Structure 1
Amino acid sequence: MMTDDAAGQLGSYRRTIDNLDSALLYILAERFRCTEQVGHLKAKQGLPAIDNERERRQLDRLMSIANDVGLSGHFVEGLMTMIVGAVVERHREIAAKK
């Protein structure tokens, strides 16, 4: 059985995690709003949805940060692949409507 102190500490950790999860979603929503504008600009200028050089530089930068803060490079690469994949898909949708 869990002690009252442990239960209180666990509850505190969980509230912090809940707040951080909410913050992550708000940040992702803001990122997607920004990339939506990028997609419209790219479509207007006839640019491709994918910019491999930009993606490589960004991943290199984020991998360095991941290393500094103790996150798994594999995790960060997978996360960014998922995020960028969604962005590229949306950019293609935008371009198809132009």
Structure 2
Amino acid sequence: MTTSDIDESVRAELDRLRSSIDNIDAAVVHMLAERFKCTQQVGHLKAQHHLPPADPAREARQIARLRQLAESAKLDPAFAEKLLNFIIAEVIRHHEQIADQPGERP
């Protein structure tokens, strides 16, 4: 079966669902951008006060919190944890870069 063989009502429903997915993807990207703006500020604050880029205790609390949120949202908690671990790794990388920049430390 080719896409041209799909019933028009099925095609319309696919288009509607895909449009919703596209909107959600856009919202996710914008939310991640906002999150990274905040974590960049945290990175600058940490650098200015000679704090380490990583905070394992905070990260563990965040993972536990996100797993609970995922469960209540009917999302696989293991997937949510993998996603947050990926984001945390990127945040730490940013914090390390900020700490290595001249002028970030008093």
TM-score range, shorter chain: over 0.9
In structure 2, stretches of 5+ residues that fail to align are none
Task: Specify the structure having the higher radius of gyration (Cα).
Answer: 2
What corresponds to 1:13 in structure 2?
A: 17
CA distance in 1, matches of 2:98, 2:36: 13
Q: How does 1:12-51 map to 2 (within 5 A)?
A: 12-51=16-55
Q: How does 1:58-69 map to 2 (within 5 A)?
A: 58-69=62-73
4+ aligned runs moved over 2 Å, structure 1: none
With normalisation by structure 1, the TM-score equals 0.96
Q: State the percentage of identical aligned residues.
A: 41
What corresponds to 1:70 in structure 2?
A: 74
With normalisation by structure 2, the TM-score equals 0.89
The letter of the residue matching 2:18 is: R
CA distance in 2, matches of 1:88, 1:38: 10
- Kindly tell me the number of residue pairs found equivalent between the two proteins: 98
Q: Which has the higher helix share?
A: 1
In structure 1, stretches of 5+ residues that fail to align are none
What corresponds to 2:60 in structure 1?
A: 56
